[in-house]
Amino acid sequence: MPETSVSVTLLAHTPDPLALVYAAFRQCYFAGSVADMWPRLLKGEISRQKQAELVDRVMASGHTSPIEHVSFTFALSGVSRALTHQLVRHRIASYSQQSQRYVDATDFDYVIPPKIAANPEAKKLFTACMAQVGEAYTALKQLLEEGGSAKEDARFVLPQAAASRIVVTMNCRSLLNFFEHRTCMRAQWEIRDAAGKMLAICRDVLPEIFTAAGPRCERLGYCPEGSFSCGRFPARDAG
């Protein structure tokens, strides 16, 4: 049962994302149909700089709904069930997660928190616990084989540290919200790591939207967490 760590892969994103966002913004203020301008956008007749300037100007006014037309799909692996339980709280998004009901978890991979990994005594205790869980899972699965629900019921002993794989799709607006919360220093270390990797990919694909993405404190210039602030920015209550 090897230990593992988070890996993020971009599976797909909306083609021509900046052009699509620009067209969506233009349609809101344009008397004609942006379908007529779409071929020009794809040919590069409207410069990327001009597109970016309009998008930046309108988003600065608080009008962000048109960026929902662009989405990103990621494959996350080597992540714990503790992470995915946090991840699926985010809406609007779509998720497809590896099933412990159908996938055999014998010799399951697991995630070790850094503080435990850095403490030899704690790591020894942790890995011994994982080994005991693995033995219990295998024994339960063997005992339940005749009933036809072996993996389904044996999975109940698996820990939050058990590694999982999940596909997640979010539109740009949801991603901005996700990054505000999960790249924050107060976010749990594992999902902060995953969010940082996802943000780096988004910035590479669509810098016009994601260059300034990140924790709310960086955008606001203060921390809205009040007494929970990490101290990086001056604290202030959001209300």
The yes-or-no verdict on residue 198 having pLDDT over 90 is yes
* Helix H or strand E encompassing 218: helix 216-220
Both 128 and 187 in one domain: the answer is no
Place of tokens 């067209």: 23
Structure tokens at 184: 């924050």
Check residue 1 and give its pLDDT: 63
Q: Which residues contact 6 (CB under 8 A, 6 or more apart)?
A: 76, 77, 78, 79, 83, 111, 190, 193, 194, 197
* Confidence grade of residue 92 (pLDDT, cut at 50, 70, 90): very high
For residue 80, being part of any structural domain is answered with: no
| 92 preceded by a cis bond (ω within 30 of 0) | yes
Both 142 and 181 in one domain: the answer is no
Q: Which pTM value belongs to this model? A: 0.92
The last residue of one of the domains, among 103, 138, 161, is 161
Q: Which residues contact 173 (CB under 8 A, 6 or more apart)?
A: 64, 65, 67, 68
Is beta strand 7-13 parallel, antiparallel or unpaired with respect to 71-80? antiparallel
Both 46 and 150 in one domain: the answer is no
Both 190 and 155 in one domain: the answer is no
The yes-or-no verdict on residue 147 having pLDDT over 80 is no
CA distance 72 to 170: 6
What is the average pLDDT value for the chain, to the nearest integer? 93
The yes-or-no verdict on residue 71 having pLDDT over 80 is yes
Both 62 and 121 in one domain: the answer is no
Both 137 and 178 in one domain: the answer is no
Beta bridge partners of 72: 13, 170
The yes-or-no verdict on residue 68 having pLDDT over 80 is yes
Both 169 and 219 in one domain: the answer is yes
Tell me, yes or no, if 182 is annotated catalytic. yes
Check residue 239 and give its pLDDT: 53
Mean pLDDT of the 135-144 span: 95
Of 45-49, 118-122, 200-204, 218-222, the range with the lowest mean pLDDT is 218-222
Q: Give CA separation, 235 vs 189, 192, 212, 231, in Å.
A: 21, 21, 20, 7
The last residue of one of the domains, among 141, 161, 181, is 161
Check residue 228 and give its pLDDT: 83
Q: What is the pLDDT of residues 201-222, one digit of tens each?
A: 999 999 999 999 999 888 888 8
Both 47 and 13 in one domain: the answer is yes
Mean pLDDT of the 56-63 span: 90
Active site residue: 26, 81, 155, 182, which one? 182
Backbone angles phi, psi at 121, to 5 degrees: -70, -40
Both 184 and 222 in one domain: the answer is yes
Range of the domain at 208: 8-75+164-228
The yes-or-no verdict on residue 136 having pLDDT over 60 is yes
For residue 81, being part of any structural domain is answered with: no
Both 211 and 168 in one domain: the answer is yes
Which CATH number characterizes residue 21's domain?
A: 3.30.1360.170
CA distance 182 to 192: 5
* Confidence grade of residue 78 (pLDDT, cut at 50, 70, 90): very high
Please tell me the total count of domains within the chain.
2
For residue 87, being part of any structural domain is answered with: no
The yes-or-no verdict on residue 238 having pLDDT over 70 is no
